[in-house]
Amino acid sequence: MPIFHNSTSPTFLLTGVPGLEWAHSWISIPFCCLYLTALSGNSLILFVVLTEPTLHEPMYYFLSMLSTTDIGLCISTMVTVLGILWLNARGISFNACLSQMFFIHLFTFMESSVLLAMAFDRFVAISNPLRYATILTHTRIAQIGLVVITRGTVILTPLVLLLKRLSFCHSHVLHHSYCFHPDVMKLSCSDTKINSAFGLTAIISTAGVDSVLILLSYVLIIRSVLSIASPRERKKAFSTCISHITAVAIFYIPLISLSFVHRFGKHAPPYVPTLIANVYLLIPPVMNPIIYSVKTKQIQKAILRLIYCKGPHVLQSLST
């Protein structure tokens, strides 16, 4: 039952799948499988990149950053999503909600930044291959990683602090199974113009700017590829970008779809926005390790080497 009282530290009620509460136990099965796939797949990518000396190159360091953000994104939502589906545990305190919201948006912004860094990596590798190793040194990659974390933290900290000044006197029922900034803000009875403006600025300065720069990177990449004389070399150069283009698509397409549903899907069944919102946060972590495992031969070889070379040793140690 909705709670109506004026409070600056309310307890919010999260929402599972509206209209399908009777099927939460069944819905939890695919969600659980998706979380397990995402966590195991990204952990495997991280382990392979860290343990295989042949993968200690800029491209794979950026891939390990992408896997780290995907693991963080999964962990940020997993507890509340599965808690609702398994135990109907809908309550979440205001501070816990702000913490979850901070990390969800942080890892989302970080993923956008890492995808931009990977686009820059492909541009340097194709347009200036002889200087690739001198431009993207280990120190510079570490600096890029630090900038990715700092950028997201600096943008999000005031966004969260601005929410703490609000009062909540309407229904405390959120429309998702996790805390989302626009969702929390809509429940406030205070003036939220500053919050809305800052939220819009945060989106534009992260995902908006990143998407434009990624597009620009690929315009330059295409120009560099077309300047290569050999058709075979052109095909080989462009094939190194396929995995990244797919990763960019599965990050931005669900984001755009969710925006369209919130804006134009007023007559859609209530469970549609909820399912799309969950898919938006789950599809990239699930698909990224699959894409890079299928499309990148070096990753394939490293995984197969791990299975066939180290697998028997692990089994032998377990049997003894």
Q: What is the pLDDT of residues 173-184, one digit of tens each?
A: 888 899 988 888
Q: What is the pLDDT of residues 92-128, one digit of tens each?
A: 999 999 999 999 999 999 999 999 999 999 999 998 8
pLDDT value for 315: 41
Mean pLDDT of 55-77: 94
How much is the mean pLDDT over the chain?
86
> Is this structure's pTM higher than 0.85?
yes
Burial per residue of 48-86, b for 16 or more beta-carbon CB atoms within 10 angstroms, e otherwise: bbeebeebebbbbbbbbbbbbbbbbbbebbbebbbbbbe
Please provide residue 92's backbone torsions phi and psi, each rounded to the nearest 5 degrees. Answer: -150, 130
Write out the H or E segment, with its range, that includes residue 92: strand 91-93
- Close Cβ partners of 10 (under 8 Å, ≥ 6 residues apart): 3, 94, 168, 172
pLDDT value for 9: 67
pLDDT value for 22: 86
Mean pLDDT of 262-267: 62
Residue 112: closest CA among 194, 231, 214: 214
Mean pLDDT of 195-224: 91
pLDDT value for 314: 44
pLDDT value for 288: 93
Pairing between strand 11-13 and 91-93?
A: antiparallel
Residue 78: closest CA among 43, 47, 98, 104: 104
% of residues, the chain, pLDDT over 70: 89
pLDDT of 196 strictly over 70: yes
Sorting pLDDT into bands at 50, 70 and 90, what band is 239?
confident
Pairwise CA distance, residues 103 & 97, whole Å:
10
52-61, 149-158, 220-229: lowest mean pLDDT where? 220-229
Pairwise CA distance, residues 128 & 140, whole Å:
17
pLDDT of 6 strictly over 70: no
Reduced 3-state DSSP string for 135-174 = HCCHHHHHHHHHHHHHHHHHHHHHHHHHHHCCCECCCCEC
pLDDT value for 7: 56
pLDDT of 2 strictly over 60: no
